[in-house]
Amino acid sequence: MLNALILATVTFAGAVMIWPRLSNARVWRATITPLASIIGSGFLVLGPILDVSYGGYAPFVMVGLCAVAYLFGGAIRFNIADIDRQPLSSQVVNTLEVMSSCVLAFAFVVSVAYYLNLFGAFGVSLTQLNDAFHANMLTSSVFLLILFTGMTRGFSALERMEQVSVGLKLAIIAGLLFGLAVHFGNTAGQHVLHFDEPRVTGWAGITLMAGLIVTVQGFETSRYLGGTYDAAMRIRSMRLAQLLSTAIYSVYIVLLTYAFESDPLSLDETAIIDLMQVVAPILPLLLVVAALSAQFSAAIADTSGSGGLIAEVSRGVVSEKLAYALLVCIGLVLTWTANIFEIISYASRAFALYYALQSTIATIRAARSGHPARTVIFAVLALLGVGIAVFGTPVE
C-alpha cells in the first residue's frame, strides 16, 4: 500500500510540475536554474552525513547551513540591485568582479565533478557493478555526453535537458518526503525515535560544516541571468529558490535524523539507499532515478554557467565550447584521483571564496550607498567566506 501511495504522490507532484499555469509562470522559470543547482547539490548524500556526524543536532546544522547560504545570497542580491541602480562601478569593484567570476568558473568546474561523481555512484548502486571503478566509468561517460552536447548543440539543448530533470527530481522528492513522513509517524507511534549523540563536535564540527557549504550553493546562478530576467525577477527568484530548498532540506533532515539510528560504518555517498529500503521497497529505485536526475540537472546548470563565465572573463579568447572541453578534462582528473568527500570539500572552498569576494563587493557598494549596518554585515560575511575557504574539511 505504501508503495502505491508513494507512486501516487510522485505522479501528483509531477502533474503539478507540468501544469501550464506553473510551468509557464515567469517567476517559476526564473527559479528553476538556481533551485536545480541547490537541490542537486546533495539532498541525498547530505542526510546521512549530517545524521552520522551531528546526531540529533543534524537539523540545527542543516538550518545553520541554509541560514549562512541565505546571508551570502543576501549579499549577491544587494549587488544585483545596486548594479541595476548604478551600473557604473569603481575600478576596484570591477577588478573584484573579474576575480569573483574567475573563482566562480573554477568552482563550477569542481562542482560538476562532484555532481557527476554522485551520478556515477548512484547509477551503479543497484547493480552488480557497484564498485568505484564502474562508478567512475559511468561518471566519465556522462562527462563525455555533456561535452558532446555542449560542443554540438550549445546551451539551449542543455537547458531543455535541465528543465525536464528538475520536474522529475522535485516529483520524486515529494514521494521521498511522503514515505519518510509515514515511516517517521510509525516510528513515533512505537516510541522508538532516536536522538543520537554527535560524533563530531567543537572545532572539528565547525570545519566539517564549512566543508559542506557546497551542498546548499547554487543560488548565485540568478546573478548571471541578466540577459533573460530583470534585476527584480532575479532577486525574487533567488530568494524563492533558497526558501523552497531550505524547507525541503529541513523537513528531509528532521524526518531522517530521528527515525533512523546512525551508523558510521555505513557512511558513503549512497548510504541513503540502504536506509530507504527500510521505508518502502520502491524508494531505492526512485531515489536512484532522483539522484541521477538531480545530479544531471545540476551538472548541466553549472556546465553552462562555467562555459559562459570563462568566455566572458577571457573576453572571447576561450570560447564556450572550449570551456566545456577544459571543464571535462579537469572533471575527469578529479574523478579518477579524488573521492567524493574530498571533491565536496574542494568545491565548498571554491564557492566560499567566491562568496567572500561577492560579500566584499557588497561591502564596498553598501558603504558607497550609505548603508552602515549592511556594510558591517557584508564585511563579516566576507571574513566568514575566507574562513570557510581556509578551514573547511572533508568528511572522514
pLDDT digits (tens, 9 = 90+) for 271-301: 778 788 878 888 888 888 877 877 777 777 7
- Is residue 369 in a domain? yes
Confidence tier at 333 by pLDDT (50, 70, 90): very high
- Is residue 12 in a domain? yes
- Is residue 161 in a domain? yes
Q: Tell which residue, 106, 61, 107, 66, has the closest CA to residue 208.
A: 61
Question: What is the average per-residue pLDDT within 377-388?
Answer: 94
- CATH code, domain with 90: 1.20.1740.10
Cα–Cα distance for residue pair 37/351, rounded to 1 Å:
13
Helices H, strands E: what count in the chain? 15, 0
Query: Could you tell me the three cell numbers for 267?
Result: 557512511
Which range of residues forms the domain containing residue 169?
2-391
Cα–Cα distance for residue pair 310/324, rounded to 1 Å:
9
Confidence tier at 348 by pLDDT (50, 70, 90): confident
- Predicted confidence (pLDDT) at residue 265 exceeds the cutoff of 70: no
Cα–Cα distance for residue pair 261/253, rounded to 1 Å:
13
- Is residue 396 in a domain? no
Q: Scanning the structure block, which residue is given the C-alpha cell 561518471?
A: 139
Cα 354–360–364 angle (5° rounding)? 145
DSSP E strands: which ranges in 20-140? none
pLDDT at 379: 95
- Is residue 69 in a domain? yes
Q: Are the C-beta atoms of residues 344 and 211 closer than 8 Å to each other? A: yes
How far is C-alpha 250 from the geometric centre of its chain's CA atoms? 14
The total number of structural domains that make up the chain: 1
- Predicted confidence (pLDDT) per residue in 222-246, tens digit: 887 777 788 899 999 999 999 999 9
- Is residue 97 in a domain? yes
Cα–Cα distance for residue pair 103/117, rounded to 1 Å:
21
- Backbone phi, psi, residue 231, to 5°: -60, -45
- Predicted confidence (pLDDT) at residue 269 exceeds the cutoff of 80: no
Q: Tell which residue, 123, 248, 176, has the closest CA to residue 7.
A: 176
- Return the percent helix, strand and coil in the chain, to nearest 5: 80, 0, 20
Lowest mean pLDDT among 42-51, 207-216, 375-384: 42-51
Its pTM stands at 0.88
Q: Are the C-beta atoms of residues 105 and 387 closer than 8 Å to each other? A: no
